[in-house]
Amino acid sequence: MGKPTGFMEYQRELPVDRSPRERVKDWQEFHEHFPIGKLGDQASRCMDCGIPFCHTGTLISGMASGCPINNLIPEWNDLVYRGLWREALERLHKTNNFPEFTGRVCPAPCEGSCVLGITDPPVTIKNIECQIIDRGFEEGWVTPQPPEKRTGKRVAVIGSGPSGLSCAAQLNRAGHLVTVYERADRIGGLLMYGIPNMKLDKNIVQRRVDLLAQEGITFVTNTAVGVDIPATAILQDSDAMVLCCGATKPRDLPIPGRDLKGIHFAMDFLHANTKSLLDSDHADHDYISARDKHVIVIGGGDTGTDCVGTSLRHQCMSLEQFEILSRPPDERPSNNPWPEWPRIYRVDYGQEEAAARFGNDPRTFDIMTEKFVGDADGNVKELHTAQVTWGTDANGRFGPQKVPGTEQVWPADLVLLALGFLGPEDKIVEELELDRDERSNVKAEYGKYATSVEGVFSAGDMRRGQSLVVWAFNEGRGAARACDEYLMKTTNLP
């Protein structure tokens, strides 16, 4: 490394985000950037560690350890330290099609496996990555790179989320004629409508989509494959097809009162909010509003946090977030050693904003919702809960056990279910008669991505189940390589 003692000379430091009290007044991104010189100091903390676990991208205990797309992190950290920003961008683009997305929304498993993190706070990898690509766009270094030759092969990519876009980008780079189909009115899938604007500005998404179009990719919106046009017809008109439709079937909470008005799936809430924001700056009122309502978010994770942040910007009256799991510890427990992803207590942007507004973290842990109760007009008005402990029942099954005497009633005008997803929707899978795995996902071996139907591949959440954006990029790139090899009998894609 350019400065072998950097990790001893500088402490981990991140730019100060915009004030929680101020940023909830708008929908703009809340992260700030460091001055270039200060970022060089942070990059110099990257050690000459010998074995950089940060870019291993393996699964340990079911969670990502290191970067799933194998970013060459020590290399571009060194280049940033030495002021070679354009070279750092080139190195970053070798493994990552869209670092402006991962630099904003990835939970950074690379930092969880940073060698420096064994004894000290890890290197600020995610922040450095984001500033490399943002400077690349500012300086005009990121330009359309259409392929020099076309193969004449036509590939249809169904779905324009993270896996679909990365797959399309790679297949286009190989020279194929790529058409991406999206059922929404804008390209981007989860990146456009699943992640709120304050976390990922949609101008940044559109900027990359426009670049991909300039490179030769054809985008078709407002077209639900399997509904507006048969999947079989697209397959017949293509040399190959890659299904990247996500795992969009939400997990429900089938308890008494579930049919009351005012109870919504989180993604319906988030999608409608962003669409209305982009269409009319919310002037059309065509979204689910939390304004002046008692809001309860059931479920944690990124989606739950996004519901919290969105509800606060709507100016909700009160806000609670329920998690059936126990509160994680502040430090790594003994059964969660480095380089595993640290299962520790974190305060994300939404919880920070809620604490600034209402005085405390909105989360209640070890809590189970037992029923919803409504008013005379069929609107939800309250939730009934009980605390739980985790252990084995009389039959030896491990799970949450209700604690008698802990029942509680909570006011609720709006309930948002952020309980994860069960798998892909059925329409395309059934039409193409694709084999499924035991979790209802499309059956396709990791690394090969070929389904049970000739010429059809699948990648991302549709194949692996609900996962991280960065795993979707990994799979999209992998499926592109497999598809290219199928079409050309060889491939030069990484």
Whose CA is closest to 64, among 106, 115, 119? 106
CB 240 within 8 A of CB 457: yes
- The vertex-360 CA angle with 191 and 198, nearest 5°, equals 20
CB 221 within 8 A of CB 138: no
Q: CA 152 to CA 383: how far, in whole Å?
A: 58
What is the predicted pLDDT for the residue at 393? 84
Q: Strand 177-181 to strand 154-158: parallel, antiparallel, or no bridges (unpaired)?
A: parallel
pTM of the prediction? 0.96
Whose CA is closest to 464, among 478, 454, 453, 485? 478
Per the DSSP assignment, residues forming a β-bridge with 320 are 296
109 prior amide bond cis, ω within 30: no
User: DSSP string covering 394-441, please?
Assistant: TTS-EEEEE-TT--EEEE-SEEEE---EEE--SHHHHHTT--B-TTSS
Q: Strand 58-60 to strand 63-65: parallel, antiparallel, or no bridges (unpaired)?
A: antiparallel
The ranges of the chain with pLDDT < 70 are: 1
- SS3 call for 225: strand
Helix 202-214 and helix 162-173: axis angle, to 10°?
20
Please give the backbone phi and psi of residue 362, each rounded to the nearest 5 degrees, phi first: -75, -5
Look-up of token digits 């689910």 = 288
How many CA atoms lie less than 13 Å away from 78 in the CB half-sphere? 13
What is the predicted pLDDT for the residue at 395? 85
- SS3 call for 217: coil
Helix (H) or strand (E) holding 479: helix 469-488
Q: CA 257 to CA 481: how far, in whole Å?
A: 48
Q: How far is CA 388 from CA 104, 253, 343, 392, in A?
A: 35, 17, 20, 12
Q: Could you give the dihedral angle defined by the CA atoms of residues 338, 342, 345 and 348, in that order, rounded to the nearest 10 degrees?
A: 130
Q: CA 445 to CA 449: how far, in whole Å?
A: 5
Phi-psi region of 213 (alpha: psi -120 to 50; beta: other; left: phi over 0): alpha
- Which amino acid is located at 52 in the chain? P
**Direct distance between the N- and C-terminal alpha carbons of the chain, in angstroms, rounded to an integer:** 26
Q: How far is CA 8 from CA 77, 123, 157, 376, 389, in A?
A: 16, 12, 48, 65, 43
What is the predicted pLDDT for the residue at 242? 98
Domains of the chain: 6-138 (1.10.1060.10), 154-248+422-488 (3.50.50.60), 252-419 (3.50.50.60)
Helix intervals (H) in 44-147: 73-81, 85-93, 99-105, 109-112, 125-138
